[in-house]
Amino acid sequence: MIRALHRWPGLLALALVTILSMSGAALSVFPAAERLAAPQVEAGLTVATLADRIQAAYPGVEQIRRSPSGRITAYWFDQGTPGAAVINPATGEGVALADPNQTLRWLTNLHRSLFLGDGGRIAMATGALAMLVLSLSGAALIARRAGGWRRWFAPLRGPLAARLHVGIARIAVIGLVLSSTTALWMTASTFDLLPDGGAAPAFPAEVSGQTGVAFDQMALLTDTPVAELRELSFPYSSDAADVFTLKTNGGTGYLDQGSGALLAWADLSGWERVSETIYMLHTGQGAAMLGLVLGLMALGVPVIGATGVLIWLVGRRGRPRIRGNQPASRAETILLVGSEGGSTWGFAATLHAALSQAGQSVHVGPMSGFAPKRYARAQRIILLAATYGDRAAPASAKGFLDRLNALEHTPDAPLAVLGFGDRSFPAYCGYARTVAEVAAAKGWPELMPLDMIDRQSPQDFARWGRVLGDALGIELDLSHEPVLPKSQTLTLVSRRDYGAEVQAPTAILRFALPRVSLWQRLTGGGFARFLAGDLIGILPEGSAVPRLYSLASGSRDGFIEIVVKKHVGGLCSGQLTALEPGDTVTGFLRRNPGFRPGRSRAPLILIGAGTGIGPLAGFIRSNRSGRPVHLFFGMRDPDSDFFYGEEFPVWKEEGRVTRLVTAVSRGARPHYVQDALRGEATQVAELIRNGARVMVCGGRDMAAGVADALVEILAPAGLTPAVLKAEGRYVEDVY
Amino acid sequence: MKSLFATLALTTALTFPGLATARPVTLTTTLNNYGGDGAYLALYVTDASGAYVGSLWMAGGKSKYYEHLSDWYRATGGDTAQVNGITGASVGAGRTLEITLDLADALFDAGYTLHIDAAVEDMRDSPNEVAVPLTTDGAGTPVRGRRYVASFAYDM
């Protein structure tokens, strides 16, 4: 909802808001320039003295004005010829032309009305309203994403466009909210929608009839400092019934030109004061510094706008277009998608197309948008749910379980859950299972039992489609071709071989970074930006199914590095370990945000065995800030498969790793990495009690052994790995 | 053609002897190139004693700026009812405002004066920009304003 409130006004009003902000930024310079150029007024100068000086220089003076910047302008007639000048208050003489600045006038008219009169004013006010809606909805999105208003300035992640968008917006939003609200107030005032009109006092009926009083005989003028002055109008020389009109910051009054007495006075109304303050806040006239700051913030708008459009475009590309998507309130079939990387959306699109073709009206939406009250005509609800990490909700299903749990009654329309996952993981389709369990426990009627799709298998999907078709009494033929991310060609630059002597031939392969286009840099696509621990998908020749490897390097290292062990009969590992420098493979990047050391300064305990050392070595290599890192590394034989054995002494010297504990499994006394942990139990427990974060990478058996060891080690401290996991302080990347 | 007949009678609550006889009068106001935004102009009539009689035209739609037409504002107290139905757009620099209204015969050769107050944003206020006595002889004779009006004439 908030996102829609942010996206659509943003796209619609982009041009308008850009013109508003750019012209506003340009205009913000003028009050400051005027302030600097205005001749300074001596301390204690009164209006009486100033008027005396000006009248001496220009006997035909009619009006003296002081702008909020302090600039004083006089208007006079000299033998019928009108004259005007900026006045030096010290002498009363003109020092500069008083004609309006044509650039300023042009910019002002562009800014407030696009040169289109009242219609243009309304258009620009609409732009200001859009800016306000965008600012407020954007602020809500930033807070939501950061996890609360207090974490407003939390470090930013993600592609460059997203970081620029939020990074600039979270500072500029203050100025944009101020500028847009004051703009709306000023428009309302211009169109007389506010009771802030000037209230001049009634013109005096009786005057002395005399003329020629000296300024120093006019008490109000000798009492009013020039800093308070706004305007002093002189009476017509020929009209004895006319008066002096004085406007100050406090109000308006009439003075007798014979006696100098104050004849009438009216204070500024409360509304006028508010409107003037708002005018000052918006224009910077009288608050030049604030004006410059607001102008600077407005300069961010074009960047925010452009990056916003980019983010929207990329988000759209991530999901397939669903043609003829029905509104949730009218659809018979509700199809909700829980997807992390976007591939599940592809399945949803295929299912939507097939059902629509069979004459069904289908609504497709994210699981996070689950709103059963809106499904007025739904006859069935289908969930397509991937899993993130172990059992966690994927990105587009955030909050689904909370909403389901909060329901008093589940919908009457029966439910089918289809899980997507990888059978080689122990928590295969863990999230889909959880959802199905909760739904069953709440008594949600079942359309079909839980089913699962292994590794995006089109065959599994087609089979499930036939069962669904039977349940609906229609012929349903689902032929889905998964769309793989666009892969790039990678060239091997070097390889280091290990482990041949222990029957575990392994290579550390280093590939050159492929060329990154500007578009990829902005949108974070391709290999523009990645961290150690992210995954690379390699497509071996002769197979359409990619194999994933953990990266041992980040984009800042300037190369792509993986550690690959050759498996007997392994298609991909066989091809990779046969590569020679100069050879190429095709691969794509897949992010793995769940397996990152984070930016905290808390100590890291890295635990890995075999090729699992890859990402851990990457973390150590990128530890430039000297964060304490304790590495537990299991190998077969230090003389054969001690990966990165050459680098560790250097990294230790540079403070990238604090301590390295190795465990050797070949030999008289086999020693595994969990044994090494137990050997250091006291220190490990101490570190974890003090907030250390544990990261485990390697084979499944090793991870299980490590978890068991940690249960023992942490028991005296009253902690368990499960508690650490819940706190996000214990993460695994297991294969 | 705007009928000032009803307007004057309504807005000023003044009755003229022989009001029944009126004639169409064209007021032509041409502004010089003063180099600013559109000018607000108030056209109004005072009697022989200088007292406000009624308004003929208001060029400029935003009443919050009327205070800068200071003589008109002072005479009417800024009462927008005085220009209800006889308000138009402000007049750009170098442009001409031409309006035709039915003016009572009794306004001519009887000491009445036609005034124009002018004001431009960020420039000088020019009350009494133009003041011409309404006479049958004076019809068709252009006069200059003090600051913004290059020429003003009324034709019968």
What is the predicted pLDDT for the residue at A478? 87
pLDDT digit string (tens) for A60-110?
999 999 998 889 999 998 887 888 999 999 999 999 888 888 999 999 999
Task: Flag whether B29 is in a domain.
Answer: yes
**Is the CB of A100 less than 8 angstroms away from the CB of B36?**
yes
Instruction: Quickly state the pLDDT bin for B5 (edges 50, 70, 90).
Output: very low
What is the predicted pLDDT for the residue at A158? 66
One fold for A319-472 and A604-734 = yes
Nearest to B63 among A100, A197, A200 (CB): A197
Instruction: Quickly state the pLDDT bin for B60 (edges 50, 70, 90).
Output: very high
Query: Is the CB of A189 inside 8 Å of chain B's CB atoms?
Result: yes
Interface test with A, best of B58, B64, B95 (most A CBs within 10 A): B64
Question: A544-561 burial string, b = 16+ CB within 10 Å, else e?
Answer: eebbebbbbbbbebeebb
pLDDT digit string (tens) for B6-43?
344 334 433 344 455 788 899 999 999 998 899 999 99
Q: Which fold has domain A319-472?
A: Rossmann fold (3.40.50)
Q: How many domains does chain B have?
A: 1
**Is the CB of A100 less than 8 angstroms away from the CB of B123?**
yes
Task: Flag whether B14 is in a domain.
Answer: yes
**Is the CB of A200 less than 8 angstroms away from the CB of B125?**
no
Task: Flag whether B110 is in a domain.
Answer: yes
Instruction: Quickly state the pLDDT bin for A548 (edges 50, 70, 90).
Output: confident
Residues with Cβ within 8 Å of residue B152, at least 6 apart in sequence: B27, B28, B29, B30, B116, B130, B132, B142, B143, B144, B145
Q: How many CA atoms lie within 13 A of A374 on its CB side?
A: 11
Tokens standing for A439? 């739904």
pLDDT higher for A7 or A351? A351
| Closest residue, chain A, to B72 (C-alpha) | A203
Nearest to B146 among A77, A200, A245 (CB): A77
What is the predicted pLDDT for the residue at A390? 65
Task: Flag whether B84 is in a domain.
Answer: yes
For residue A684, pLDDT over 80 is answered with yes
Task: Flag whether B80 is in a domain.
Answer: yes
Tell me how far apart the terminal alpha carbons of chain B are, to the nearest angstrom. Answer: 14
Task: Flag whether B30 is in a domain.
Answer: yes
Q: Give the minimum alpha-carbon distance from A95 to chain B in angstroms, rounded to a whole number.
A: 17
Nearest to A102 among B35, B78, B124 (CB): B35
Q: Give the minimum alpha-carbon distance from A75 to chain B in angstroms, rounded to a whole number.
A: 7
CA distance A64 to A234: 9
Interface test with A, best of B67, B69, B124 (most A CBs within 10 A): B124
| Closest residue, chain B, to A254 (C-alpha) | B74
Please compute the mean of the pLDDT values over residues A489-513 and round it to a whole number.
Answer: 92
For residue A612, pLDDT over 80 is answered with yes
**Is the CB of B125 less than 8 angstroms away from the CB of A80?**
no
Nearest to B64 among A102, A190, A203 (CB): A190
What is the predicted pLDDT for the residue at A389? 63
Please compute the mean of the pLDDT values over residues A311-321 and round it to a whole number.
Answer: 73
**Is the CB of B36 less than 8 angstroms away from the CB of A200?**
no
Task: Flag whether B43 is in a domain.
Answer: yes
Averaged pLDDT score across all residues of chain A: 88
Decide if A721 contacts A712 (C-beta within 8 A). Answer: no
The amino acid at residue A381 is: I
pLDDT digit string (tens) for A163-214?
899 999 999 999 999 999 999 999 999 888 888 776 678 888 788 888 888 9
**Is the CB of B63 less than 8 angstroms away from the CB of A118?**
no
Q: Give the minimum alpha-carbon distance from A330 to chain B in angstroms, rounded to a whole number.
A: 49
Residues of A in contact with B64 (CB under 8 A): 189-190, 192, 196-198
Extents of the domains making up chain A: 2-32+132-195+280-313, 40-89+198-268, 319-472, 488-590, 604-734
Q: Which fold has domain A488-590?
A: Elongation Factor Tu (Ef-tu); domain 3 (2.40.30)
Domain that holds residue B79: 4-145
Residues with Cβ within 8 Å of residue A12, at least 6 apart in sequence: A130
ipTM above 0.95, yes or no: no
What is the predicted pLDDT for the residue at A4? 75
What is the predicted pLDDT for the residue at A167? 93
Interface test with B, best of A63, A71, A243 (most B CBs within 10 A): A63
Interface test with B, best of A105, A109, A263 (most B CBs within 10 A): A105
What is the predicted pLDDT for the residue at A482? 67
CA distance A565 to A575: 11
Decide if A409 contacts A376 (C-beta within 8 A). Answer: no
At residue B7's C-alpha, the angle toward residues B4 and B13, to 5°, is 125
Q: Give the minimum alpha-carbon distance from A82 to chain B in angstroms, rounded to a whole number.
A: 6
What is the predicted pLDDT for the residue at A352? 93
Please compute the mean of the pLDDT values over residues A121-146 and round it to a whole number.
Answer: 90
Which of A291, A13, A29, A282 shows the shortest CA–CA distance to A135?
Answer: A13
Lowest average pLDDT, out of A456-460, A661-665, A701-705, goes to A456-460
Q: A residues 84-123 near B, CB within 8 Å? A: 84, 99-100, 102, 105, 109, 117-118
CATH number at residue B44: 2.60.40
pTM greater than 0.95? no
Q: Which CATH number fits domain A604-734: 1.10.30.50, 2.60.40.10, 1.10.287.130, 3.40.50.80?
A: 3.40.50.80
Tokens standing for A171? 């500072």
What percentage of chain A reaches a pLDDT higher than 90? 52
**Is the CB of A117 less than 8 angstroms away from the CB of B89?**
yes
pLDDT digit string (tens) for A265-276?
999 889 989 999
| 3-class DSSP assignment, residue B87 | strand
Measured in degrees and rounded to the nearest 5, phi and psi for residue A537 equal -95, 125
What percentage of chain B reaches a pLDDT higher than 90? 59
Decide if A633 contacts A652 (C-beta within 8 A). Answer: no
